[in-house]
Amino acid sequence: MRTLFILFFTALIAACNSQVSDGVKVDFAVSEVDSVYLDPSVIDTTELGLIFNPSGSYNSIKAKSSKVKSRDTDGKDFEEYLLNEIVPFWYETEWDFNGYTDIPGQGVIACGYFVSTTLKHSGLNINRYKMAQQAGLHEAQTLALIDKNYITVYGIDNLMETLKNDYEDGLYFVGLDNHVGYLYIKNGTPYFLHSNYIEDRVQIQKAYYADAFQSNVYVVAEISTNEELMAKWRKSEVVKVVIP
């Protein structure tokens, strides 16, 4: 009987571990014991500290942008508003290469439009259509405003080293070979928030474990740590889209 119990328990652990590896990459209640068996790509949402379930109506949340802005607000306020009030409505919205909906959960959204639309709905005065139609480099230059606020890095190994040594926690834009999204660094861990063309939906993943994050080149532009961009956000000044 004891031998049968051990075999059953071992099989149960193996089955659970396989299920986690093949399924959803977000875990909402990870204990220290459970974490032994988890795929390292799984997100511990408690540690991440983001809100995933929206509250209120989307129109009322968008209308708050004018109240969020003030002379005393900074990049952290923008980051909190975009990530925890605007973006929760967008999770699971379907991806499509030609998607440009501005209503979360309805229609489809391409990667560039996901970024430009959520920025606009957070109160950044930008043409979401023109921005989304540009290459990742020019989208990065648009948000950077000045050269010191963006970098180009070749290869994921160089990116890992650069982010570890030179980048603080915050919200960034990242352009890849054929994809764009937000790069969110929390407690030194990079997360990729994007309209995922592989899994056909808006989601957040640990960046280095995300298949869509693999690229030969990365262009990273500051958002919440970008004083020039945040000043334009507070003043509702137009952010001119860089068009080659």
Mean pLDDT in each 10-residue stretch from start to end of the chain (244 residues)?
A: 40 34 40 55 88 95 92 91 98 98 98 98 98 98 98 98 98 98 97 98 97 98 98 97 96
Q: Which two tokens stand for residue 105?
A: 């959960």
3-class SS of residue 110:
coil
Partners of 7 in the beta sheet?
A: none
Distance CA 193, CA 215 (A): 16
Look up residue 236 and give its two tokens.
């509702």
Residue 45 is predicted with a pLDDT of 84
> Roughly what angle, to the nearest 10 degrees, separates helices 111-121 and 136-144?
20
Amino acid letter, residue 175: G
Can you list the alpha helix ranges (DSSP code H) found in the chain? Answer: 2-22, 45-48, 58-63, 65-68, 75-81, 111-121, 128-132, 136-144, 156-166, 227-235
Write down the pLDDT at residue 22. Answer: 32
The pLDDT assigned to 38 comes to 63
Q: What is the pLDDT of residue 47?
A: 85
The secondary structure of residue 199, as a DSSP letter, is T
How far is the first Cα of the chain from the last one, in angstroms, to the nearest whole number?
73
CB count in 10 Å sphere of residue 160? 14
d(CA 82, CA 107): 21
Q: How many CA atoms lie within 13 A of 84 on its CB side?
A: 12
Buried b (16+ CB within 10 A) or exposed e, 195-228: bbbeeebbbbbbbbebebbebeebbbbbbbbbee
